[in-house]
Structure 1
């Protein structure tokens, strides 16, 4: 009978833990842009980790590892479902990657709970913040899924990122999960200890119970103190955001037009390329008909597929040469500065051509005939879809990852800053504007505006495009510079230096937007621009340091008590 009760209790506990894993994954998914809520339910982001902290407390070390693996697959499978549109293998790779990453995270969180029993929640909180920074680093690093990005519509709060960056904001957004977990568990613990005080007084363990009660009270008081500090920081952030949002804009402006051609990324061939260029020219002419004083016209990532310079200088395909000539004639007859996404090819002596995902900048009468545009080539390439460093070692996997494309891209080397018509700007390409380090370096080099060229149309997913937009908003806020996004299918928009979406085109249609952006002072740089992601580095470093010290202390205590 006793065994049956134990089995029933264990089974109930297992179901509770699985339920917590599912709830955690759903909170993560729904707090970000998703298929049900295009902008995401950002307020859920404040509680993303609460079920995880509770799950870790109730689980053994081995269980924590397993539940972490399950969470990684569920959370990122739901969040990044759109990867299957590129290739099912892409979604599988991400799910496997986060199966490993989250199993390690949950293991570390359990170790933190074991080595720091009374106030392990604080160490776990720092570990989570450190993890979200570390996961964006290196070849496999991606910024998708960072908790603070769920707050992209909370403009007054996110202005603090100009000081502490998105990983500093993580401290504010993730803390409520940790505080709520600590407050509930320690309040319950204290209540249980109080209930046993009378019983303990009649036994020989009264001193032990009183000691435990005192520790519980002290621990709860620490939770209150941390909660008060959070309220002060949160309030100060809102006050700072309010003051920033009320600042007047610079007087000098330039007019921009961002084109959205809604082209399919899967159609190739000269007929399709010619159709796309003709469509881009037509949309541009429509925009210029409405506004004759446009300074900059921006076309999306790889809007012109054939390499403009290579086909003009070395090309042997007559039809491609004629298409490029037609395009250059249009540019040379136009008064605006054009920023064009292009599959740029470079002729190499004694080797194959090198292919770059580039932005080319043209101005009539200066660099159109022959084409000698300013060039920026994408530096941060998408792992597995644009870059795969082990193509010779894993050749069969490399062929599958190409997904019909003839090549992947070479990596650019310079954070180029362009200077046209009094505006210094940079052109982060596609998901480069999801990385604070990339955009910050461009601003350090002198840029005062981002012209982002993107193509997320392959995803066939509005949530994918909104997730991308959410991160782009933070690049403007962190560096206090405006952004203009020209995308193949969305979200084409103008973002103010405060992260406000000033104008936006609807997704998955041919469209364009016209608007003004301020020319920001060259003498102003935000604290974040000057210092970078010091918050993320500090979180990761502090978490590792405390975890190592606490582990060593526990080991020494066990050895000395033998």
Structure 2
């Protein structure tokens, strides 16, 4: 029977094994072996025969392998072998030699914890250093959030400042690589997006104030909308956090992620409800050579170029391998060179194409500036204003007169002024397009009607309505809340149309050598200008040009009318169709198929612009018209796959 083991004594004695030079101090191998045997007998364990000592560490290790267990029987697993390199970790041959009795007596063990004060003091220094470091990182991240939001906002407000968009993701990159938590990356992105939208969409509060007169509701609407839309930025930061686990692919993958989230926002708006007012590519509306890729990629190709270039600039300031920095700098430079070369080539070809037997249509863009008259219910003054502008057109020989959304009060089909409009069309020998409303039983539509000397010939009903402006979302759930708080849609409750691809036709007298007299065009009303699919559908159905009518009077003197105009630039380039735009208070414009704004009217004033609209009809359709957003969907799939891979298969150790 084994003697009772004294674990405390055994533990203290075992510590002597790690005393430097413990064996060999004036003792020979036999004495060491004898001491080892005595210690084994102290706990009742039969000691194996002492091996011959040669002074080589490998021999010592081999001699320590027992040839029988503590009961005297051979090991049950005869194949068990101990790798000598797993045991030998010392720096001298003496490290694994058994400790002698003499050395054990010399060991002076201090009570447990006696040396800890020095260690604790060192830990406090480390803790203070970590706190200071984390505080500094937090300040840097907060600064980056503000910088990112404000740079993007500055690139999108009233005056054109596209250069800021190319800088906006530099602080974003620095922040993401300083954040050590997925949760905080969400907070960072949400804060950046909230700042951006609060500044960029400040006109929302002005619009709500104009419609309701409630300042509290106006600020609540702006804050709530900014917070919701900022989720796109939050998801971008969250995905980028996991993409940094693949640092060699980060700039390209993050740019794809940005584009992917833009198309997701667009899809939610199409199928459900959202507000895709901001697309990064819109900031480059006047970079004529860059935006030509939109005929293949849509505006999302421009978004990718801006995001990728900016992310690469941020990547260059990080502590990354030089080969990666050189690679991405070269890639960004080559991509930009390719895109600008493509734009130069397309512009040259398009100019030559447009100069070959173009069509000329005499057009009048009407800007009546009657928004306030509509709000105040002064219908007679609205008609008087329109009558005055029509009178001024009698000597202008316009063949097509375009009026904005909300140009006439009441139902366009049953209006008491309908006969007057028909008479004016006959007198001017011109087609007229009016914006207003239509009623069909208990349904009311935002519509545009086409009129000639015979009366109304066709119409188009708006398919994408403005949330809270033209309908109240989730009314089946929140109807009681809306009613109890007096919340109504700003302009009424309307039903969306069901034909987004519908086109209208006009027939005008032939001019010069032009034999074709029938022209097909697509009409889009106000908010629909931020939905590329509406324009694509009309281009596929044979539209030769687009007509966008809007009432931007609700935006007052803010950045919104300029932002609205810039979206239309890309609709023209994407489909290679020119675009005519008529608004109630401005900005009215003619945008050619290259995206160049030929002219634009002033803001918040009455104007009538009569000119020769020169364009070339197209039998071919662009890649974007035929195939849509395949580029954006490809970016979404690629980025989503890498984010999932980083989340599931890569650990925190892979983070930069």
> Normalising by the residue count of structure 1, what TM-score does the alignment of the two structures yield?
0.84
- Say whether 1:145 aligns with 2:278: yes
Find the residue that maps to 2:289 and give its secondary structure: helix
Deviation string, structure 1 residues 335-381 (Cα, Å, up to 9, x no partner): 1100000111112xxxxx211110100111x3x1xxx4301001112
Preserved contact between residue 417 and residue 447 of structure 1 (Cα < 8 Å): yes
Say which one has the larger Rg: 2
Shift of 1:278: 1.7
2:364 aligned residue (257, 265, 271): 257
244 and 383 in structure 1: CA distance in 2 versus 1, 3 angstrom threshold: farther
2:348 aligned residue (220, 237, 243): 243
Preserved contact between residue 119 and residue 219 of structure 1 (Cα < 8 Å): no
Give 1:381-530 correspondences, 5 Å limit.
381-399=465-483, 401-403=487-489, 405-421=491-507, 422-530=518-626
Q: Distance in 2 between matches of 1:224 and 1:25?
A: 25
Give 1:25-424 correspondences, 5 Å limit.
25-32=149-156, 34=157, 38-60=158-180, 61-87=182-208, 88=218, 89-114=220-245, 116-138=246-268, 139-185=272-318, 188-189=319-320, 216-244=321-349, 246-249=351-354, 250-264=357-371, 267-268=374-375, 272-289=378-395, 291=396, 293-311=397-415, 321=416, 323-347=417-441, 353-364=442-453, 366=454, 368=455, 372-399=456-483, 401-403=487-489, 405-421=491-507, 422-424=518-520
Counting matched residue pairs gives: 502
Number of the residue aligned with 1:204:
none
Q: Distance in 2 between matches of 1:90 and 1:82?
A: 11
Number of the residue aligned with 1:23:
147
Deviation string, structure 1 residues 278-336 (Cα, Å, up to 9, x no partner): 212211322343x1x2110011102112002234xxxxxxxxx3x44434433343311
Find the residue that maps to 2:620 and give its secondary structure: coil
Number of the residue aligned with 1:196:
none
Stretches of structure 2 that go unaligned for 5 or more consecutive residues are 1-123, 209-217, 508-517
Find the residue that maps to 2:446 and give its secondary structure: strand
244 and 46 in structure 1: CA distance in 2 versus 1, 3 angstrom threshold: farther
Shift of 1:225: 4.5
Find the residue that maps to 2:225 and give its secondary structure: helix
Per mean C-alpha deviation after superposition, the further-off stretch among 80-89 and 226-235 is 226-235
Q: Distance in 2 between matches of 1:406 and 1:534?
A: 37
220 and 132 in structure 1: CA distance in 2 versus 1, 3 angstrom threshold: same
Preserved contact between residue 260 and residue 632 of structure 2 (Cα < 8 Å): yes
493 and 468 in structure 1: CA distance in 2 versus 1, 3 angstrom threshold: same
Preserved contact between residue 47 and residue 174 of structure 1 (Cα < 8 Å): no
Q: Distance in 2 between matches of 1:486 and 1:389?
A: 28
Preserved contact between residue 159 and residue 240 of structure 1 (Cα < 8 Å): no
Find the residue that maps to 2:276 and give its secondary structure: coil
Number of the residue aligned with 1:11:
135
Q: Distance in 1 between matches of 2:174 and 2:532?
A: 32
Q: Distance in 2 between matches of 1:51 and 1:480?
A: 36
Report the RMSD for the aligned CA atoms in angstroms: 2.4
Find the residue that maps to 1:373 and give its secondary structure: strand
Find the residue that maps to 2:364 and give its secondary structure: strand
Per mean C-alpha deviation after superposition, the further-off stretch among 248-257 and 16-25 is 248-257
Shift of 1:396: 4.3
Shift of 1:544: 1.1
Stretches of structure 1 that go unaligned for 5 or more consecutive residues are 190-215, 312-320, 348-352
Q: Distance in 2 between matches of 1:397 and 1:264?
A: 29
Say which structure is richer in helix: 1
Q: Distance in 1 between matches of 2:150 and 2:504?
A: 43
Q: Distance in 2 between matches of 1:287 and 1:503?
A: 19
Shift of 1:460: 0.6
222 and 283 in structure 1: CA distance in 2 versus 1, 3 angstrom threshold: same
Q: Distance in 1 between matches of 2:563 and 2:147?
A: 21
Query: Per chain length, whose mean CA-contact separation is higher, i.e. which structure has more relative contact order (CA < 8 Å, sep 6+)?
Result: 1
